[in-house]
Amino acid sequence: MKNVQKGKVLAVNISDEKGTKKTNIGSCTLLKDFGLKGDAHGGPWHRQVSLLANESIEKMKAKGLNVGFGDFAENITTAGVDLVHLPIGTEIRIGDSITLRVTQIGKECHERCAVYYQAGDCVMPKEGIFAEVVKEGEVKVGDEIVIGY
């Protein structure tokens, strides 16, 4: 029996520039080998899509920060899935058609980006994960996330 985790998409966020907060647009096309259509981080590299758990955002709120979905420049805000403990290579299914593959857990921030200064702290380096798009499709708020299917 596999360890199946289920969660859901709370926000789908994009931005025109790297290093800035992203805006929840509700739904977006995830393109194979690229990422979210129209997002500054999209491209043929290993960090096509970033995911951050709302549980991590709530930790920052508990520290007194006024933050919400997209404020840490994450593409997809999730709930109910333990993202940070997923092994590299884990496949994540979103909705009926999308498959992502985890490529990186956390990231090294060489400089404090605009997100850090706007939010006062950042959880992406420790708790955000990155993935590549294996199977494309439309991602929208409310989609089910399944890991270990």
Give residue 59's pLDDT: 87
Give residue 65's pLDDT: 82
Give me the mean pLDDT over the 89-98 stretch: 97
pLDDT at 40 > cutoff 80: yes
Give residue 110's pLDDT: 55
pLDDT at 13 > cutoff 90: yes
Give me the mean pLDDT over the 4-24 stretch: 93
3-state secondary structure of 71: coil
Mean pLDDT of all residues belonging to the chain: 89
CB neighbour class for 49 (10 Å; exposed up to 12, middle 13-18, buried from 19): buried
Tell me the pLDDT band of 127, cut-offs 50, 70 and 90. Answer: confident
Beta carbons within 8 Å of 90's beta carbon, 6+ residues apart: 101, 102, 147
Give me the mean pLDDT over the 13-32 stretch: 94
Domains and CATH numbers, the chain: 5-147 (2.40.33.20)
CA distance 50 to 40: 12
3-state secondary structure of 24: strand
pTM above 0.95, yes or no: no
| Percentage of the chain exceeding pLDDT 70 | 85
